[in-house]
Structure 1
Amino acid sequence: MDQTVCYPVKLYIYDLSRGMARQLSPLMLGKQLDGIWHTGIVVHGEEFFFSGSGINSCPPSGTVLGDPLSIVNLGSTEVTPDIFTEHLNSLSESTYRGDKYNLLEHNCNTFSNEVAQFLTGKKIPSYITDLPAEILATPFGAALHPLLGAVIVNPGGNNVTGQP
């Protein structure tokens, strides 16, 4: 008898601004932002995320960011650890190499969204994925676009593929 094993999948959400976005966004952007989001997918006992060094993992809440601001239960997956590792290795050689990181267009949230869909068929909340467009739609955000595009976020963890 074949027994299917399901593994829980969670989205860990961190505010990179540590509350500053909520305080300063009305003044700087003319609109309220609740945070500047960094996300990671927790599955198989590890937290996986994309940064300027590529795809990384650590124990849940194991980055310098500490505990997440919130956790979203994305459901469960039947994808085994081995198949998931193969998938991550494939992504790390193409779409999610460290040199492909861009804070506004191809970041940790892009990665979390793609991995969530691979594992569960569900997307991460749109308030996270829509944030860069929201910021760029403001005059201040548009003026900062060249600077923000060059910023690299790297909260730590271990590179999944061993590539720099």
Structure 2
Amino acid sequence: MSYQPINNSQGGNQPNLCNFSFLNCFNQNTSSSHSEDEDPRMAQEPVILNVYDMFWTNEYTSSLGIGVFHSGVEVYGTEYAYGGHPFPFSGTFEIVPRDAENLGPQFKFKESLHIGFTDFTDEDVKNIVESMSSDYRGDKYHLINRNCNHFCNELSKVLCGREIPSWVNRLASMSNYLPFIEKWLPKEWLTPVALEHSLETSISHDETNDIQSS
């Protein structure tokens, strides 16, 4: 399966699809079957995977298809991603697409890959991500078993029926044979800066509600 690179210099449980508006999310060409009075918003929206380097060794190993990568799924001008934190609620978050600076100093934008198309609306996508949140809690994040790339792979399959390229998360597969790899990665990398900001807002909001209810 091939993926189309995009030239850009800027640097659990499966959701219940019956709850969403459009069920044609498997990259099928249905233009010939659309009726004349069909909603024009049914036009397919691109699903983009934005990939970031996270470790200096990528400079030497990425050509071999091995590296430490972060990824996010971009659709309708929003990039959705997942990170870890010590609390029992969602670790998913949103950023402006390809904004590596908002992720943290160790993140460097690498490339964008066109995965497929989706007929889900912008609102549908947000609802899908929300429905995945309980399975992608911050305290369930694991560098090898449940990371940002696992989240992106599942979201991509829901949106357009296609998996992300295997090399993006190959490190997780390799760790089954080379368990010491996990020890290379600093624990502070679990929580991107953008997720920290979202986390601070959530905690502050909860504390305010607790004060008001007491």
**Structure 2, gaps ≥5 residues long:** 1-36, 86-90, 204-214
**Structure 1, gaps ≥5 residues long:** 26-31
Residue matched to 2:165: 125
Contact 2:58 2:66 in 1 (8 A): yes
Q: 1:61 aligns with which of 94, 98, 106?
A: 98
Matches within 5 A, 1:4-19: 4-17=42-55, 19=56
TM-score (norm 1): 0.78
**Are residues 150 and 163 of structure 1, via their aligned partners in 2, closer, same or farther at CA, if it must alter by over 3 Å?**
farther
Contact 1:22 1:34 in 2 (8 A): no
Q: How many residues align?
A: 150
Residue matched to 2:123: 82
Q: 1:20 aligns with which of 57, 67, 72?
A: 57
State the Cα deviation string for residues 30-50 of structure 1 (Å, max 9, x = none): xx6642111000001011100
Matches within 5 A, 1:9-158: 9-17=47-55, 19-23=56-60, 34-53=66-85, 54-62=91-99, 63-64=102-103, 68-92=109-133, 94-138=134-178, 142-143=179-180, 145=182, 147=183, 151=187, 152-157=189-194
Q: Tell me which protein shows more strand as a share of its residues.
A: 1
Q: Percent identity?
A: 27
Q: CA deviation at 1:22?
A: 4.2
59-68 vs 111-120, which moves further: 59-68
Partners of 1:163 and 1:5 in 2: CA distance: 35
TM-score (norm 2): 0.61
Amino acid at match of 1:64: L
Partners of 1:150 and 1:68 in 2: CA distance: 19
Partners of 1:89 and 1:163 in 2: CA distance: 15
Contact 1:39 1:112 in 2 (8 A): yes
CA RMSD of aligned residues (A): 2.6
Q: CA deviation at 1:89?
A: 1.2
Contact 1:9 1:73 in 2 (8 A): yes
Contact 2:143 2:190 in 1 (8 A): yes
Amino acid at match of 1:97: R
Contact 1:13 1:70 in 2 (8 A): yes
